[in-house]
Chains A and B, each alone.
Chain A
Amino acid sequence: MFGTGIIVFRETLEAAMIIGILAAATVGIAGRSRMLLGGIAAGVAGAIVVALLTGRIAEMAGGTGQDLMNASILGFAVLMLAWHNIWMSRHGAALAQEARRVGHAVRGGEKTLLTLFVVIALAVLREGSETVLFVYGSMAGSETSALQVLTSGSLGLGAGALAGFLLYAGFLRIPLRWFFAATSGLILLLAAAMASQMARFLVQSDVLPDFGNPLWDTTGLLSNTSPAGVLLHALMGYDATPSGLQVVFYVTTLIVILFAMWMLRYRKDTISRF
């Protein structure tokens, strides 16, 4: 009975962290709440559709359709996050500065809001489709009543959402000088974490070789199932037993995005004046 809540919490946590970080990163951009809520709504709708189609998706590509779909979703989200971070490295610092000082929403950044919408919708879609399947499956099972499943599922969902909100609230307390670095730093880690998960799906479906599986094992130090392990997995993609390909994807994503951010930061721009 409690199990339902814990599984729903774990699935929710990852999406909630992503939403919390993105909400913090776009503070002060006009129309942001609409995009946030719209992204969540679109994600939930998509999750239900995907959950209904799971059987058919799974049968595609010789039984690996689900992995390929997850890998594509993650790849797309990585591109969006990279784009968002690179765009914000030019404009974000100024946006955050102005929003806080003037105390009202800043115009501009509509483009990055669209990426926000897409990333949130995809995150909710991916984590949500498994949650929908699981909750539906638990209710169909005879062991626990539907009401019990719904109650503990809602508790898990609420706890996950709360974690995301606390992360967001924590971000808002960060001094302005560090705020931009902190949000873009976490988005960078999120993108790398998603790239690593994408690699996992590509290995699992035998599209790419694993280059060593696992490359190392730190389960004794910090296991994937411990609370700290789950949190670090959601925030920065921690995996106690990563394959070589996961590490390659993680590091490459970090380097490529950082390099692009660095290139644009030093271009002549009004932002460089403060």
Chain B
Amino acid sequence: MVFYRLMLLVGMLFPITVLAADSEIVLTIREHRFEPSELKVIANQKIRLIVKNLDATPEEFESHELNREKVISGKGQATIYIGPLKPGRYPFMGEFNQKTAQGVVVAE
């Protein structure tokens, strides 16, 4: 009985997962700058952020607002999952080049 209830519960979870399919966004680092520097995303949805570093030097994607921190090697790329986010602005920066590498995620 417990098993069937559990199965039912698991079964109920799947449609939700399908509905909330991740949307994918690509962020590029070039000459220690983020392109685009403003990322528009849909609020309340999980987002797969793919960060491509075209520079030869590594960069660290960091955002206190998003609660994320990740090193991306030179000429490399990495995946960071963010959200679901409430509508608002979430600044991020490249910790290794703070002067130039600044950006913001706008959820709406």
**Closest-CB distance, A218 to chain B (whole angstroms):** 11
A66 near B56: Cβ-Cβ < 8 Å = no
B64 near A241: Cβ-Cβ < 8 Å = yes
- What residues of B have a CB within 8 angstroms of the CB of A31 in the complex? none
B76 near A55: Cβ-Cβ < 8 Å = yes
Q: Is A224 an interface residue (CB 8 A)?
A: yes
- What residues of A have a CB within 8 angstroms of the CB of B96 in the complex? 7, 134, 137-138
Task: For B56, give the chain A residue with the smallest CB separation.
Answer: A140
A: interface residue count bin:
35 or more
Q: Is B35 an interface residue (CB 8 A)?
A: no
**Closest-CB distance, A222 to chain B (whole angstroms):** 12
Q: Which of A56-64, A75-83, A164-172 is near enough to bind chain B?
A: A56-64
Q: How many A-B residue pairs have CB under 8 A?
A: 79
Q: Is A3 an interface residue (CB 8 A)?
A: yes
Q: Is A225 an interface residue (CB 8 A)?
A: yes
B residues contacting the other copy or chain, number (CB 8 A) = 30
**A100 CA to B80 CA, complexed, in Å:** 50
Task: For A52, give the chain B residue with the smallest CB separation.
Answer: B73
Of residues 195 through 225 on chain A, the ones whose CB sits less than 8 Å from some CB of chain B are 200, 203-206, 213-214, 219, 223-225
**Closest-CB distance, A237 to chain B (whole angstroms):** 14
Q: Give the interface SS of chain A, mostly helix, strand, loop or mixed.
A: helix
Q: Is A141 an interface residue (CB 8 A)?
A: yes
B: which residues have CB within 8 A of A?
32, 46, 48, 50, 56-60, 64-65, 67-81, 95-98
A-B contact list, 30 entries, CB within 8 Å: A7-B96, A54-B58, A54-B71, A54-B73, A54-B76, A55-B73, A58-B72, A58-B77, A58-B78, A59-B76, A59-B77, A63-B50, A64-B78, A66-B70, A133-B71, A134-B60, A137-B58, A137-B59, A137-B74, A140-B56, A141-B97, A203-B81, A204-B70, A205-B79, A219-B64, A223-B64, A224-B64, A225-B64, A240-B64, A241-B67
A: which residues have CB within 8 A of B?
3, 7, 54-55, 58-59, 62-64, 66-67, 130, 133-134, 136-138, 140-141, 200, 203-206, 213-214, 219, 223-225, 239-243
